[in-house]
Amino acid sequence: YIRMLGDVRVRSRAGFETERRGSHPYIDFLFIFLFFVANSEIEVSVSARNVRRLLSFQRYLRSSRFFRGITVPNSSNILDDDYNGQAKCMLEKVGNWNFDIFLFDRLTNGNSLVSLTFHLFNLHGLIEHFQLDTMKLRRFLVMVQEDYHSQNPYHNAVHAADVTQAMHCYLKEPKLSKSLTPWDVLLSLIAAATHDLDHPGVNQPFLIKTNHYLATLYKNTSVLENHHWRSAVGLLRESGLFAHMSLENRQLMESQIGDLILATDISQQNEYLSMFRSHLDRGDLCLENANHRHFILQMALKCADICNPCRTWELSKQWSEKVTEEFFHQGDIEKKYHLGVSPLCDRQTETIANIQIGFMTYLVEPLFGEWARFSNTRLSQTMLGHLGLNKASWKGVQREQSGSGDDVDPAFEEMDSDILPQEPRLS
């Protein structure tokens, strides 16, 4: 007991702090308990304020050492020069499609989102062009990274960093690079970095069927995407990053970032894809038009968000395993509390191979097929090449597991046809 007290004093003097309490990404038992109680005749002696606090996905903010400007010398969490040097070398090739975000995250000690996004702001000249305070920028990025749930296998800060890196690759494409303004690039990088901010690790149907207050707040429409957007706006205002801009420009920025993030709602896939096809069929996309550029950035962010199957097999396979783990964990919660297991979330009936083949067939191939029509470059062909190889690899796994390679995941067939895109038409 005395030694424990001594350890506490030593840790306090060394500047260590208790870890910030965060909401569990899979909705803890208190959420489920309150859900059932709310639908019964039992009176709950808990104030509305306390219920809201229990059900909120927003994690408690902590005042980190960074915000106080305190450095901790000789901390075991500080990487040596060798790791920092390797991370810098990787950033020199940040525009390569085979960029390994998992390795970069390890080299930066879990700070891939902060390091990569700050580098891209500098690389695109945004800091100088918009006269940004570098300390405010880094504080904003730290807050963004901290508000991702590290417990989530998939929807975490590493995924956000991966999407941001992919977005950078698309911004470099010839059609875009010669047409985009610094404002467009700024919106794109912020939206990419914050597009899944404070994701709870469960999907929208789960929130709706458990009557979560966010589902009620956003009327069961793009619930998560609206929450990601509003959370990003909150951090932008809290950081004061753009406080030197006019109110009109700040409001325009917040609105347009929202347009980009809301476009990542997979249930709106068919609507965006149909518009994209129509423009390509008519050949009327004019990137000198600000509205057309904004629409293309929406499509680019949609591609970046689901580009995992278009990466190399080594990277794509890791992402597939992580997203399936998150699906199955939600399914376990739904089974435990008899909520009805959501499609793709039952580990007893689903496999990674089946899920990935369905995902590629119905969502990824149509989207990237149209993107290749718009930007027929080496990168788009590389992505389609990886997509074909990865799909073939998963079919090989599927054959080994079931003895047949023609199965299609029934969960995708059961989805509402209104949200499933048509087959791609390559020109």
Q: Which residues are annotated as a binding site?
A: 155-159, 195-196, 305, 356
User: Packing angle between helix 134-146 and helix 112-123, nearest 10 degrees?
Assistant: 140
Sign of CA dihedral 88, 92, 95, 98: negative
Of 420, 170, 160, 203, the residue nearest 305 (C-alpha): 160
Catalytic residue among 124, 155, 199, 212: 155
* Number of neighbours of residue 372 by Cβ within 10 angstroms: 18
Pair of tokens at residue 103: 């390795």
Sign of CA dihedral 150, 193, 160, 226: positive
* Number of neighbours of residue 39 by Cβ within 10 angstroms: 10
* Number of neighbours of residue 296 by Cβ within 10 angstroms: 24
Residue 164 exposed, middle or buried by CB count within 10 Å (0-12, 13-18, 19+): buried
Of 234, 214, 239, the residue nearest 225 (C-alpha): 214
CA atoms of 359 and 365, how far apart (whole Å): 9
Pair of tokens at residue 264: 């990542």
Task: Determine contact, residues 239/140, Cβ cutoff 8 Å.
Answer: yes
Task: Determine contact, residues 188/300, Cβ cutoff 8 Å.
Answer: yes
Of 120, 115, 114, the residue nearest 95 (C-alpha): 120
Answer yes or no: 155 catalytic: yes
Count, residues in the chain: 427
Residue list for the binding site for AMP: 155-159, 196, 305, 356
Task: Determine contact, residues 409/350, Cβ cutoff 8 Å.
Answer: yes
Task: Name residues whose C-beta falls within 8 Å of residue 226's C-beta, 6 or more positions apart in sequence.
Answer: 214, 217, 218, 262
Task: Determine contact, residues 390/336, Cβ cutoff 8 Å.
Answer: no
CA atoms of 405 and 416, how far apart (whole Å): 24
Residue list for the binding site for Zn(2+): 159, 195-196, 305
Provide the 8-state DSSP code for 419: G
Of 33, 60, 57, the residue nearest 217 (C-alpha): 57
Pair of tokens at residue 376: 């027929």
The residues that are catalytic are 155
